[in-house]
Structure 1
Amino acid sequence: MNSVSDQVQGRQNINHRDFSWHFWPLLPLYPFGKRQTLRQEVVKGTIWTFEQVQGILYVVVPIRMTVVKLDAGGLLVYSPVAPTPECIRLVNELVEVHGDVKYIILPTISGLEHKVFVGPFARSFPKAQVFVAPNQWSFPLQLPLSWLGFPLGRTHILPEDSTQAPFGDEFDYAMLGPIHLGPGTFEEIVFFHRRSRTLLVTDSVVSVPEEPPQIVQLDPYPLLFHAKDEVFDQVEDSKASRRKGWQRISLFALYFRPSAVETIPLSQAFRDAQNAPDRSKRAYFGLFPFKWKKNWHLSFEALRGGGRLFVAPILQTLILNRAPQETLDWAYHVATWNFHRIIPCHFDAPIEATPQQFRQAFSFLQKKESGDGPGNINFPLPEEDFELLKEIDEKLNRRGVVPPPKEKV
């Protein structure tokens, strides 16, 4: 089976129709109808990750599914990605060696960027049973799962007790939530593969690499777009420019509006666009409505924390603080499992991490002896970078859209 480097080197031999994702209008995120896939073997002969990219306004980050070989033969798929012809071909290469896809897992109820792929992916593997997190919901109407594209007759709700699942002899799992957020609900189920001591998570924890992931570099344009300091810059394609762009993308993706960026009034941005060096459609006709401060890299270094495990700021500010005790109880339970590797659905993977580090990532929900900044007790995230998220939180609270956060425990 080809390695990641082999896939990258052989990319020029692939028909671009292999990247086609025809259902992109259901969730119109970049790169829309053309999605490349990279497969990586994480544990030899046992665990593989499949990565694509996804984002808005060139703020693109990896989105990842994980495939695990079952002891009795066959495969379990955790959180499918877009089933492009290339992706299905790469999965079928594993099927030829290890057996059919037996189980497809949807471990979340609120992540549309995960949910939208499950039905189409399942149609490529008609023998697979689909298991979804309980309490699934849809907006504005609550619809049956079959109406949302999940295959009728082979879609099941994950049992509350993991030992009752047909794969319970190989996996433990634990559900966080449901956490009620007014119009919606948050829930995530993490899976622990005992034999490989690997924890599979969706959105609950991440780690940000210093260098851009390989999947993001297949099309470097978003990296170079965000490497500009201002609209008039012309950026050459280099390792340093790609790194710079990736680090800024990470700040945008996790904070929406980090303190290191200054937004420019749209009237001024449109005037500047008239003189931009690149006014092509791909460059948004020269529109670049922000300017980076000179010390922007300090915000990235504080966010990354040397590659530590942490909870994304949006979860800290808008979701998990609505259920601090429940979240901590869940984190403590997960930390009783003896894992040494974590594979999230976004940013870096695999992450070498201990149960203690996982538990510590949620310490922002605990009262601190000193300091009020958000983030991990030992590695607090900068207070100023949470400004926009706090504004959103206050507006939603004031309008009664979401319940107020609860006190830390």
Structure 2
Amino acid sequence: MNAQKQQDMHSSTHSKDWSWPFWPAVPLYPYGRRRTFCSEVVKDTIWTFDQLHGILYAIVPIRMTVVKLEAGGLFVYAPVAPTIECIRLVNELVAKHGDVKYIILPTSSGLEHKVFVGPFARCFPQAQVFVAPHQWSFPLNLPLSWLGFPRSRTQELPEDISQTPFASEFDYAVLDIDLGRGSFAEVAVFHKRSRTLLITDSVLSVPEDPPAIFDLDPYPLLFHARDNAFDLIEDNQANRHKGWQRISLFAIYFRPSALEPVGLGQALRDAKKAPNRSRKAYFGFFPFRWKQNWKQTFDALRGNGRPFVAPILQTLIFPQAPTQVLNWVVKVTNWDFQRIISCHFDSPIEASPRQFRQAFAFLEKNPSVSENSSGSDSQPLLEEDLRFIRELEADLIKRGIATPAKEKV
């Protein structure tokens, strides 16, 4: 998609086109005003639709992927908020390539994905909806129809893909981990013709530069570009890059080692003297400072763009069923993909099955794929940055909310 067409597609001047009235169900930024950025990944075949979401301006993309079917029509993986703008962009593809035929909810636990599926499906009444197994909701475990899913055309993905109407063009592998109080399910989907792997949360890659969706709303980048409460919020390319890299550290580690928390009393005193005291700037409240080595921490995280498993999954989820996860990984790596489209952070990720396999080496006593076989890009995450999540894990185990990790394979 050329730059002029992208500009035309995103030139909407009516804020009602960005409105998302159901934001209280999952109250994440940008709340009731969601912009959508569409990008063509594979010419006339695959498109991504990005929106933003997060808390405290630690904002990352959330992504829907649309694939053109060979016989005409569209396959939608992980819908985003169906704003007027979003549906208009999808309908531009419908006009050219045919109706939305299949909608996939590829997770059981990701409320930020699940909440959009029912409303999105109602915009395309001919589409069949397929969901990952063992769906659940919190605090009440409600039927999907109560969450807005159309009852007559929603079904669980069958174990045998040949029982689906899209088996000739796709393959999929379901990871379904029983966590006791719910499940973690993720459906990896392989589009054979384009050799593209679609993933929800299991692996990601962090780009050096902020994703293009931030051109529509750079304020979160500028907010986090500051070193402390006294820095001005200024819009320039250097601040956008700095803000994105710090947001990445926040979003992935929660409390990275390069971040120095400021006590509540000091933060309130600083807020009184801060040059940015608007409501949008949280009235000057900025309860942390960045250490000088923050950029080295980001570079270690990014690893030149290598795919990796987010620390929260490395620590709390996947170690609960290492054999099950690795069996799923083996099935995925049997597909001959050349790119990965994840629902968050960078997209597409130019990566091989071997690189995908390497991202899960932390589950093995003796990794079958050498950590050093592909150079420095494959180095694991730094232990000092994982400290907060390790402490969180220990606390959850102590409280009986989580269970200790199973032995590595």
Matched residue, 1:347? 345
- Report the CA distance between 1:55 and its aligned residue: 0.7
- Counterpart residue type for residue 124 of structure 2: F
- Report the CA distance between 1:142 and its aligned residue: 2.4
- Bigger CA drift: 36-45 or 179-188? 179-188
Matched residue, 2:76? 77
3-state secondary structure, aligned to 2:96? helix
3-state secondary structure, aligned to 1:117? helix
3-state secondary structure, aligned to 1:305? helix
CA contact (8 A) 2:306 2:377 kept: no
CA contact (8 A) 1:258 1:386 kept: yes
Matched residue, 1:389? 389
CA contact (8 A) 1:191 1:200 kept: yes
CA contact (8 A) 2:210 2:244 kept: yes
CA contact (8 A) 2:67 2:74 kept: yes
Matched residue, 1:87? 86
- Bigger CA drift: 227-236 or 18-27? 227-236
From the superposition, tell whether residues 364 and 175 of structure 1 become closer, same or farther in structure 2 (CA, over 3 Å). same
- Report the CA distance between 1:236 and its aligned residue: 2.6
Counterpart CA distance in 2 for 1:234 and 1:183 is: 45
- Within 5 A, what are the aligned runs for 1:296-335? 296-335=294-333
- Report the CA distance between 1:407 and its aligned residue: 1.6
- Bigger CA drift: 158-167 or 376-385? 376-385
CA contact (8 A) 2:36 2:86 kept: yes
CA contact (8 A) 2:218 2:240 kept: yes
Counterpart CA distance in 1 for 2:347 and 2:356 is: 14
CA contact (8 A) 1:102 1:128 kept: yes
Matched residue, 1:365? 363
TM-score normalized with structure 2 length: 0.95
- Bigger CA drift: 216-225 or 305-314? 216-225
Matched residue, 1:17? 16
Counterpart CA distance in 2 for 1:9 and 1:237 is: 23
3-state secondary structure, aligned to 1:259? coil
CA contact (8 A) 1:368 1:377 kept: no
- Counterpart residue type for residue 79 of structure 1: A
- Report the CA distance between 1:380 and its aligned residue: 1.4
Counterpart CA distance in 2 for 1:278 and 1:140 is: 38
From the superposition, tell whether residues 383 and 73 of structure 1 become closer, same or farther in structure 2 (CA, over 3 Å). same
Q: 1:288 aligns with which of 286, 289, 297?
A: 286
- Counterpart residue type for residue 27 of structure 1: V
Counterpart CA distance in 2 for 1:203 and 1:339 is: 18
- Report the CA distance between 1:265 and its aligned residue: 1.0
3-state secondary structure, aligned to 1:199? strand
Matched residue, 1:46? 45
CA contact (8 A) 2:306 2:378 kept: no
CA contact (8 A) 1:182 1:402 kept: no
Matched residue, 1:268? 266
Counterpart CA distance in 2 for 1:388 and 1:267 is: 22
From the superposition, tell whether residues 334 and 32 of structure 1 become closer, same or farther in structure 2 (CA, over 3 Å). same
CA contact (8 A) 1:261 1:290 kept: yes
From the superposition, tell whether residues 70 and 18 of structure 1 become closer, same or farther in structure 2 (CA, over 3 Å). same
- Report the CA distance between 1:139 and its aligned residue: 2.1
Matched residue, 1:153? 152
- Counterpart residue type for residue 212 of structure 1: P
CA contact (8 A) 1:47 1:69 kept: yes
- Report the CA distance between 1:184 and its aligned residue: 2.5
Is 2:167 the partner of 1:168? yes
Matched residue, 1:250? 248
Is 2:60 the partner of 1:61? yes
CA contact (8 A) 2:9 2:89 kept: no
**1:251-292, CA deviations, whole angstroms, 9 ceiling, x for partnerless residues?**
000000000001111111111111110110000000000000
Counterpart CA distance in 2 for 1:72 and 1:260 is: 52
TM-score normalized with structure 1 length: 0.95
Cα-Cα RMSD? 1.7
CA contact (8 A) 1:4 1:40 kept: no
- Report the CA distance between 1:10 and its aligned residue: 6.2
Matched residue, 1:236? 234
- Report the CA distance between 1:330 and its aligned residue: 0.8
- Within 5 A, what are the aligned runs for 1:175-194? 175-177=174-176, 179-194=177-192
- Report the CA distance between 1:366 and its aligned residue: 1.2
Counterpart CA distance in 1 for 2:148 and 2:390 is: 35
Counterpart CA distance in 2 for 1:406 and 1:4 is: 49
Counterpart CA distance in 1 for 2:378 and 2:37 is: 35
Query: 5+ unaligned residues in a row in structure 1: which ranges?
Result: none
CA contact (8 A) 2:304 2:377 kept: no
Is 2:6 the partner of 1:7? yes
- Report the CA distance between 1:237 and its aligned residue: 1.5
**1:298-334, CA deviations, whole angstroms, 9 ceiling, x for partnerless residues?**
1100100001011111110111111111111111110
Matched residue, 1:35? 34
Counterpart CA distance in 2 for 1:64 and 1:12 is: 20
Counterpart CA distance in 2 for 1:288 and 1:378 is: 34
From the superposition, tell whether residues 224 and 124 of structure 1 become closer, same or farther in structure 2 (CA, over 3 Å). same
- Counterpart residue type for residue 256 of structure 1: F
Query: 5+ unaligned residues in a row in structure 2: which ranges?
Result: none
CA contact (8 A) 1:340 1:353 kept: yes
- Report the CA distance between 1:140 and its aligned residue: 2.8
Is 2:400 the partner of 1:400? yes
Task: Count how many residue pairs are aligned between Structure 1 and Structure 2.
Answer: 403
Counterpart CA distance in 2 for 1:57 and 1:74 is: 39
Counterpart CA distance in 1 for 2:4 and 2:346 is: 17
CA contact (8 A) 1:173 1:191 kept: yes
Is 2:211 the partner of 1:204? no
- Counterpart residue type for residue 268 of structure 1: Q
- Report the CA distance between 1:13 and its aligned residue: 4.5
Is 2:130 the partner of 1:131? yes
